[in-house]
Amino acid sequence: MELKRVVVTGLGAITPLGKSVPEYWDGLINGVSGADNITQFDTTKFKTKFACEVKDFEPTNYLEKKEARKIDRFTQFALIASDEAVKDAGISRENVDVDRVGVIFASGIGGLITFQDDVMEFARGDGTPRFNPFFIPKMILDIAAGQISMRHGFRGPNYAVVSACASSTNAIIEAFDNIRIGRADIIITGGSEAVIREAGVGGFNAMKALSERNDDPKTASRPFDKDRDGFVMGEGSGVLILESLDHALARGAKIYCEIAGGGATADAHHITAPHPEGLGAQNVMIVALKDAGMKAEDIDYINVHGTSTPLGDIAETKAILNVFGENAYDLNISSSKSMTGHCLGSAGVVEALACILAVTKDIIPPTINHFTDDPDLDPKLNFTFNKAQSRVVNAALSNTFGFGGHNASVIIKKYRA
């Protein structure tokens, strides 16, 4: 079978740095931190009191009030970002074959806010099960894919992908594969997450995964810094319109870049900790390069998983050195989580967007909040600390790793006819 080439023709985002792709990119290249004190609940008794929230979010600015009430915050984000992407790509049910347009979408957790709020309301009552009739369809994480398809009338492949924090990268790879083998012409893909609530923050606090730098939230996410103490929770959504090249050309679509390849592996090591030598991360980058038919020296930029955890940053760096060898020193490496926080199930697509924009604009977003070198990290690696750098970016690799040992990488390259 001759595989079809797959390109990106539309982008959408709602993130802690802004409620559109231009706002998100402006925040990235200017090194803006999205972290601040949590506004969504009272954090008085919590160890961590800050996160990277989507700022000043009012869903009825984008959605009808009745519609917004029937869906969880994570689905609200998904619809808003998908609206931007669909409009950007110039597609509608009138100008495409809707049976050949699919939605493959991701979330790591889904409607946690709905689940927490409804269960707490039940617990406060007299035991009578007066649950909201939308409790289940608001909570299930596949509902974002379903809602996007219903909103736009797209009837192609439609399902959800979940692999913790690797979820939306896996969704991109699934979309890529479906198009290149001919199951669809266009797929709306990405992910969404919104779990900045008592259960989400409390749960990650209990695991000792979150930074507790409450006195200085904006510098709390500090990947590769000696004094990093955990990740900062984020939220939001990113959406890509993936399309077969021949279909995009036939309709005269704007083409941002090409999806070159992807890979997925498992650590098979621990439920939360990475393999200490970064074995799964190493293997997934090798698989992605092989799938793309590329060599290590073809990559210019890696947007790393880079969560700002003591173990994870070291393991990923070891993996990069093992895969890229001497070529590792020619790479730009950066972690956009230093600005967005860790958007969990939507992290992969939010960071793939950073790679797409780096490829199209030849600018590397920085890793902010670097103050002290970590002696356990190779000082010759270019982590793009604190300031964006200009360079030609022909190809970029985006890494995401999830609890359970899930690893996923996708490679994005400049489109050339």
What's the rounded Cα separation, in Å, for the pair 115 and 195?
A: 10
Beta carbons of 236 and 77 less than 8 angstroms apart: yes
CB 34 within 8 Å of CB 106:
no
| 52 given a catalytic annotation | no
* Two structure tokens written together for 290: 């092989």
Q: How far is CA 59 from CA 62, 139, 166, 277, in A?
A: 6, 17, 26, 43
Alpha helices in 65-111 (DSSP H): 65-69, 73-89
Residue 342 DSSP one-character state: B
Catalytic annotation, pick one of 247, 342, 370, 406 = 342
Nearest to 341 by CA among 59, 95, 51, 100: 51
Catalytic residue flag (residue 165)? yes
Report the C-alpha gap between 174 and 31 in whole angstroms.
Answer: 31
From residue 176, give the alpha-carbon distance in Å to each of 51, 117, 134, 339.
32, 36, 32, 28
Tokens of 76: 């609200």
Residue 47, judged by CB atoms within 10 A of its CB (0-12, 13-18, 19+), counts as: middle
- The crossing angle, in degrees rounded to 10, of helices 198-206 and 112-124 is 100
Of 165, 257, 343, 355, the active-site residue reads 165
Q: Which residue stretches of 153-293 are H helix?
A: 167-180, 198-206, 245-250, 279-292
Pick the catalytic residue: 152, 247, 275, 305? 305
DSSP class of residue 15 equals B
Is 305 an active-site residue?
yes
Q: Residue 110 to residues 47, 114, 193, 252, 289: CA-CA distances in angstroms? A: 24, 9, 7, 36, 31
Determine the distance from the C-alpha atom of residue 401 to the mean position of all C-alpha atoms in its chain, rounded to a whole number: 11
Asked if residues 394 and 359 have their Cβ atoms less than 8 Å apart, the reply is yes
Residue 319 phi/psi, 5-degree rounding, is: -65, -45
Q: Write the Ramachandran bin of 222: left for phi over 0, alpha for psi from -120 to 50, otherwise beta.
A: beta
Question: What amino acid positions are annotated as catalytic residues?
Answer: 165, 305, 342
